[in-house]
């Protein structure tokens, strides 16, 4: 039988400092692995907005060519609201000064039979997505990027 019941009750109260330090260490290690993975996921999600927008430009260019026997020289001729066309992180139209703006789409190398559409990253996406950089697509469907990564499309 325990002769000092008050002592055994006090010994079971709360966490010791060592237990708390172990928990904090485990949480720190887990976050060290989780945060970079989350960052890569966000970058890829925003990059997919550029990819979808470029494919939309390509589709509209093909339709414009069918109707006019030439490609559009200005992105507004394709029904986009401005040149350059700025998209936010939801894929909606915005302005370049908006903090949520992630890509600026424009046309270049346009002739009656050729064009290149480019999606240039803006603001935070510009500094985060250094592996792919700007994405582009040509009239022949060739997809490119300005960065060194091969996994951009």
The string of pLDDT tens digits covering residues 3-30 is: 665 555 555 677 788 988 999 999 999 9
Total structural domains within the chain = 1
In a domain, 103, yes or no: yes
Domain of residue 44 covers 17-145
Q: What pTM does this model have?
A: 0.78
Structure tokens at 31: 């976050």
Sign of CA dihedral 76, 81, 82, 86: negative
Q: Is residue 107 assigned to a domain?
A: yes
Segment 99-104 long-range contacts (CB within 8 Å, at least 24 positions apart) = 99/123, 102/46, 102/49, 102/50, 103/46, 103/49, 103/50, 103/53
- pLDDT > 70? residue 137: yes
Mean confidence (pLDDT) of the chain:
89
Q: Per the domain annotation, does 25 fall within a domain?
A: yes
At residue 2, does pLDDT exceed 60? no
Asked whether residue 123 is assigned to any structural domain, the reply reads yes
Q: What is the pLDDT of residues 30-86, one digit of tens each?
A: 999 898 889 889 899 999 999 999 999 999 999 999 999 999 999 999 999 988 999
Whether residue 38 is contained in a domain is answered as: yes
Of 64, 51, 79, 153, which Cα lies nearest the Cα of 110? 64
| Residue-wise pLDDT tens digits, 98-112 | 888 999 999 999 999
- For residue 6, being part of any structural domain is answered with no
For 59, counting Cβ atoms within 10 Å of its Cβ (0-12 exposed, 13-18 middle, 19+ buried), the class is exposed
User: CA 153 to CA 148: how far, in whole Å?
Assistant: 13
Task: Let me know if residue 31 belongs to a domain.
Answer: yes
Is 11 within the bounds of a domain?
Answer: no
pLDDT of 148 over the 80 cut: yes
């Amino acid at each position: 039988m325990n002769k000092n019941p008050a002592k055994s009750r006090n010994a079971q109260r709360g966490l010791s400092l060592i237990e708390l330090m172990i928990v904090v260490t485990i949480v720190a290690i887990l976050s060290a692995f989780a945060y970079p993975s989350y960052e890569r996921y966000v970058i890829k999600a925003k990059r997919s907005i550029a990819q979808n927008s470029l494919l939309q430009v390509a589709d509209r260019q093909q339709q414009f060519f069918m109707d006019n026997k030439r490609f559009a020289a200005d992105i507004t001729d394709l029904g986009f609201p401005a040149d350059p066309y700025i998209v936010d992180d939801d894929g909606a139209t915005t302005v370049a000064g908006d903090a949520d703006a992630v890509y600026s789409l424009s046309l270049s190398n346009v002739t009656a039979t050729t064009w290149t559409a480019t999606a240039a990253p803006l603001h935070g996406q510009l500094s985060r997505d250094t592996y792919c950089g700007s994405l582009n697509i040509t009239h022949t469907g060739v997809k490119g990027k300005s960065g060194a990564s091969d996994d951009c499309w």
